[in-house]
Structure 1
């Protein structure tokens, strides 16, 4: 049975990558201002239409087109799960469909690749392979110094060497020399932290007070002020301080922007970690009797800042960079976790305070609600120190409820953070292991040239191979 003429004229055949799709022109008109809606109006002048067969041919991905044509039929745009996000994004651009029309059920999957790429752009040395990274680092440093691409002989010896030395100090993977210097710096950091920890142990200290022993002291403060670390620890200390001082001076001299250098947090950590050493040496030279004073001892404890030098490992371990970016990207989930935990702590601290008063026989650990805060925190986080615990039946019930609620509150937001870390880490590892692209492919360049040469002069500027949807 043949169709009436009006139905035959209404049908349209679309060939996408060798796969034929048949639909109605009225269906394609459901989504106006798109590529498929335009072919229903310009059949005679459309170069995509075969005048012999009457079908339209597009050399695009046929699998993705299933979602595109279904959008015209149902009005709901879903993202395929068997293709990557960038491919579907390119197809939407070609067909002239706004990505904001994607259904909520598929939006997170569609945006996952873009969110990961945006996050990785803030991590130095991950989003490019080694050869491209070296070139981009040189360009980045040259741009910060205000240098154009000119030979080294013309840019000035001082500026040339300043740029090279900053590259050596700032980017550990730029050259082999930079890698060696980064390893040396890391060794000094580890030795400095190790010596700082060992000198607090009595086996690495000797008594400086005459006729006194370690057994005569009763507090840790007294033991530290009456003793000194052995000589080899002092040698390690002085060597590390000398190296860190030279490094800070060199980085400040060769940095392209002094303001950015001063605003960087890790630079302040470097400066504050060596400052107590020099203050102590100046005070001892002025008044030697103050060497064993309590005030100078507390000033010396500011050397604790040096342990934050371990954060420099993030320059060498990409996993730490990804972890920091994961925490930033998961800020909303972390705030939600803290908020939910705070609400639970407040509720159960008040409940346990009044529950323990029901049968109070003088052994009540919860003298006030703030003590209940501490008990609720250690219970909800499953630590359970046991320093405070309920003693009544009603208190046990409240404690059981607090522990169960704590498990639920901690279990719900954590998987989101873990998924973010897995997503970013997998993207970073993939981009680091990606081989270098030696050939740049210009897709559609030859066809574009042929079409531009065959079109009249008046229409050459009106046609483009790529399709850009008009703003609505």
Structure 2
């Protein structure tokens, strides 16, 4: 075929014209093969119709002409990818200036999909909840704090008990909330302060010779009973026992329950009845008290059920490479500056650092801007190295943290968009349900394809009345037997716009735009 012949393309109702020579520059694409092999293009006044999105077509034709693919920035990345796949053009050909925008669209969509997968609740739908038994619904209420009003109340109670447990764990270590027992005094097993009178004990002696107040111990036992009942209830009502036992969270809860029970056992049974106890028993008691700090982990496990905490975990997981890079950079610089400052102090014969490890400790504390001050350089060279270490630390620490913060912001923004979309969907469903119920009481009007042709069907002139098509919207003017224009049918919405019965002198015989119909309806309302 003649390479200068014009080719007419009808893409989604929009006409595009180019030459066969332009299309043949890329023979491996869909349009390139059509321009080379199709015999229909050679026919005069012939156009090729494609039921595709026309917004990207100008960019594609420019790609055939110039060899560079530039895309509009207001089109979704998935739409671009789908259209390029149809026209058989690789995504990698997109020019560098436009690829970032395309990648951002896809990246946001991928993040939204990841959030949906991570936040998906298998029992979120009402139909799935109704399949559960009454016992299983109790488990679901305890596991999902945002499920219903009862689950929200339960989560508040659980948080309050956990907070009270952590608070009591800290209060009982203070001597203000402990009472002395003289039968616990045993000065042969512990060091006594020598600078003062023998009656004054060190903190270890005071702590070992005292117990928390009885009301504190009673509340601790009540909290232990609460957690035992909570764990047992979740285990009994769980619909999948194997899945329950595979979760690390549940084993952690069991460990905390056993720990609290053993702490009370050591304090109440093993130690109270003894006149004295050894330092090994005291160290065991301190070890169990140290494990009490793990109670706060219950809050984090409970907070994982909230979307914001999950987004924090997602952004942290997505930034693992940045964390690894940060750790490698800090360790490398700490080794370099630690060895340098140790060598500088050694040459100056100040001996401020005992080894390279001491210098690395100083470098890490300096780079993180903590400035602990236990070891510091004294020589001028060591101080210069310390200043350079501080400057490098600010730069190395600031850049990865900015990337991590940007990651969290991106995930959080997509979470807010997801929540707004879900609210809109819920609101739309509510409106549809309302209008569906409102239409139940109305008289059903007959609707046939003859009266209301579907969208996209070509209309013809009937009875001297003109029907027109404008930009994919079919406009039909229907008249009744009394020569009154009763309504205008738009194929895009398929519903009546003028049920009031417009008079003939107020509405013209045919209209082509929705604005004219609205004006006629307003005139009829005024006359009524």
**TM-score, normalised on structure 1?**
0.75
Q: Is the 8 A contact 1:272 1:305 kept in 2?
A: no
Alpha-carbon shift at residue 214 of structure 1 (Å): 13
* Structure 2 residue 243 is matched with structure 1 residue 251: no
CA distance in 2, matches of 1:53, 1:287: 100
Q: Secondary structure at the match of 1:345?
A: helix
Q: What is the match of residue 471 of structure 2?
A: none
| Structure 2 unmatched runs, 5+ | 186-196, 434-453, 459-528
Q: Is the 8 A contact 1:269 1:306 kept in 2?
A: no
- How well do the aligned residues superpose, as a CA RMSD in angstroms? 3.7
Q: Secondary structure at the match of 1:81?
A: coil
Q: Is the 8 A contact 2:142 2:151 kept in 1?
A: yes
CA distance in 2, matches of 1:384, 1:170: 44
* Structure 2 residue 309 is matched with structure 1 residue 320: yes
Q: What is the match of residue 365 of structure 2?
A: 378
CA distance in 2, matches of 1:410, 1:88: 38
Q: Could you give the per-residue CA deviations for residues 118-177 of structure 1, whole angstroms, max 9, x where no partner exists?
A: 431343269xxxxx97317x63x7xxxxxxxxx86xxxxxx7234322322222222222
Alignment of 1:52-71 (within 5 A): 52=45, 54=47, 56=49, 58-62=51-55, 64-71=56-63
* Structure 2 residue 13 is matched with structure 1 residue 23: no
Please point out which of 273, 280, 301 is paired with 2:290: 301
User: 1:238 and 1:203, CA in 2 relative to 1: closer, same or farther beyond 3 A?
Assistant: same
Q: What is the match of residue 92 of structure 1?
A: 84
Structure whose CA Rg is larger: 2
User: 1:367 and 1:209, CA in 2 relative to 1: closer, same or farther beyond 3 A?
Assistant: same
Q: Is the 8 A contact 1:50 1:56 kept in 2?
A: no
Q: What is the match of residue 144 of structure 1?
A: none
User: 1:109 and 1:205, CA in 2 relative to 1: closer, same or farther beyond 3 A?
Assistant: same
User: 1:240 and 1:347, CA in 2 relative to 1: closer, same or farther beyond 3 A?
Assistant: same
CA distance in 1, matches of 2:310, 2:199: 47
Larger CA deviation: 314-323 vs 84-93: 84-93
Higher relative contact order (CA 8 A, sep 6+): 1
Q: Could you give the per-residue CA deviations for residues 311-346 of structure 1, whole angstroms, max 9, x where no partner exists?
A: 034245422211110010111111111111111111
Please point out which of 335, 354, 379 is paired with 2:343: 354
Q: Could you give the per-residue CA deviations for residues 332-380 of structure 1, whole angstroms, max 9, x where no partner exists?
A: 111111111111111111111101122114xx32110011111111111
User: 1:13 and 1:279, CA in 2 relative to 1: closer, same or farther beyond 3 A?
Assistant: same
CA distance in 2, matches of 1:250, 1:375: 51
Q: Could you give the per-residue CA deviations for residues 245-288 of structure 1, whole angstroms, max 9, x where no partner exists?
A: 11111212222333332232222221111112222344543664
Task: Return the structure number with greater helix share.
Answer: 1
| Structure 1 unmatched runs, 5+ | 127-131, 142-150, 153-158, 441-445, 451-472
CA distance in 2, matches of 1:205, 1:42: 95
Alignment of 1:41-80 (within 5 A): 52=45, 54=47, 56=49, 58-62=51-55, 64-78=56-70, 80=72
Number of residue equivalences = 412
Larger CA deviation: 167-176 vs 49-58: 49-58
Alpha-carbon shift at residue 59 of structure 1 (Å): 5.0
User: 1:372 and 1:103, CA in 2 relative to 1: closer, same or farther beyond 3 A?
Assistant: farther
Q: Secondary structure at the match of 1:134?
A: coil
Q: What is the match of residue 423 of structure 1?
A: 410
Alpha-carbon shift at residue 241 of structure 1 (Å): 1.4
Alpha-carbon shift at residue 31 of structure 1 (Å): 4.2
* Structure 2 residue 83 is matched with structure 1 residue 83: no
Q: What is the match of residue 457 of structure 1?
A: none
